[in-house]
């Protein structure tokens, strides 16, 4: 299993990176990204520390740990600037907190995010055709999420995203141990999203595509 959207004590998760990663390994994960919430106030503090611990855990726990961020509530016009700065600091996976219906996210976050060429647009909410087409053009993956509340529009994201040629990934947005993936959770999420059970293999390939892009750098 690959999960490219999780949170630790560096933002609003409840586990240290070491705890989260080992629990993920125990559940059968082969790769995980640590993507705590970031904006211009904390990215320079957080990213170097996540990079350090990601290397330690990858080397010792036989699981690939990728340092990343979830750019969150940054003014939409500044998302590309924030993403570029995170890349310079060494973040490998750039997720943007999309316009979920569960929260009051700044309007136009989705379109500025997919135009910025980030890696994953998380829980996009009522995604538009234009946003999905731009994601496809810029190879930005759209997230199907297992997280309660954010998952309310999974079916809509899958339908509009696939019609536009965008690629989907399955992530947990984990904040607590119980959020980590299980086989049962995968099957239910795919079913609720209107996707066949075997589509998870495609989502894993899409996630691997992101990983391979940055492993070569």
Q: What confidence category does residue 213 fall into, taking pLDDT thresholds of 50, 70 and 90?
A: confident
What is the reported pLDDT for 88?
A: 97
DSSP symbols for 146-193: -STTGGGGHHHHHHHHHHTT--EEEE--BSSGGGS--HHHHHHHHHHT
Provide the percentage of residues in the chain whose pLDDT is more than 90. 97
Query: For the chain, which domains are there?
Result: 2-215 (3.20.20.140)
> Does the pLDDT at position 150 exceed 70?
yes
What is the reported pLDDT for 214?
A: 75
What is the reported pLDDT for 216?
A: 57
Mean pLDDT of the chain: 97
The angle at the Cα of 49, spanning 103 to 46, to the nearest 5 degrees, equals 30
> Does the pLDDT at position 217 exceed 60?
no
> Does the pLDDT at position 208 exceed 90?
yes
Cβ-based neighbours of 59, under 8 Å, separated by 6 or more: none
Dump pLDDT digits (tens) for 17-32.
999 999 999 999 999 9
Dump pLDDT digits (tens) for 67-125.
999 999 999 999 999 999 999 999 999 999 999 999 999 999 999 999 998 999 999 99
What is the reported pLDDT for 198?
A: 93
What is the reported pLDDT for 142?
A: 98
Dump pLDDT digits (tens) for 112-149.
999 998 999 999 999 999 999 999 999 999 999 999 99
Cα separations (Å) of 187 from 56, 148, 173, 191?
Answer: 32, 15, 17, 6
The encoded tokens of residue 131 equal 């946003």
What is the reported pLDDT for 17?
A: 98
Provide the percentage of residues in the chain whose pLDDT is more than 70. 99
């Amino acid at each position: 299993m690959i999960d490219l959207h999780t949170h630790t004590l560096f933002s609003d998760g409840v586990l240290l990176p070491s705890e989260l990663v080992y629990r993920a390994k125990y559940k059968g994960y082969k790769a995980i990204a640590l993507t705590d919430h970031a904006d211009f106030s904390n990215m320079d503090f957080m990213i170097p520390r996540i990079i350090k611990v990601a290397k330690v855990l990858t080397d010792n726990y036989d699981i690939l740990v990728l340092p990343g961020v979830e750019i969150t509530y940054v003014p939409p016009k500044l998302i590309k600037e924030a993403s570029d700065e995170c890349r310079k600091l060494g973040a490998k996976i750039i997720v943007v907190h999309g316009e979920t219906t569960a929260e009051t996210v700044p309007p136009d976050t989705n379109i500025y995010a997919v135009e910025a060429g980030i890696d994953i647009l998380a829980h996009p909410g009522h995604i538009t055709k234009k946003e999905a087409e731009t994601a496809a053009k810029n190879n930005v993956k759209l997230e199907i999420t297992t997280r309660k509340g954010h998952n309310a529009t999974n079916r809509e994201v899958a339908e509009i995203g696939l019609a536009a040629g965008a690629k989907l990934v399955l992530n947990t947005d984990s904040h607590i141990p119980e959020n980590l993936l299980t086989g049962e959770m995968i099957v239910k999420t795919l079913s609720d999203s209107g996707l066949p059970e075997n589509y998870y293999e495609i989502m894993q390939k899409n996630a691997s595509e992101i990983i391979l892009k940055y492993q070569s750098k």
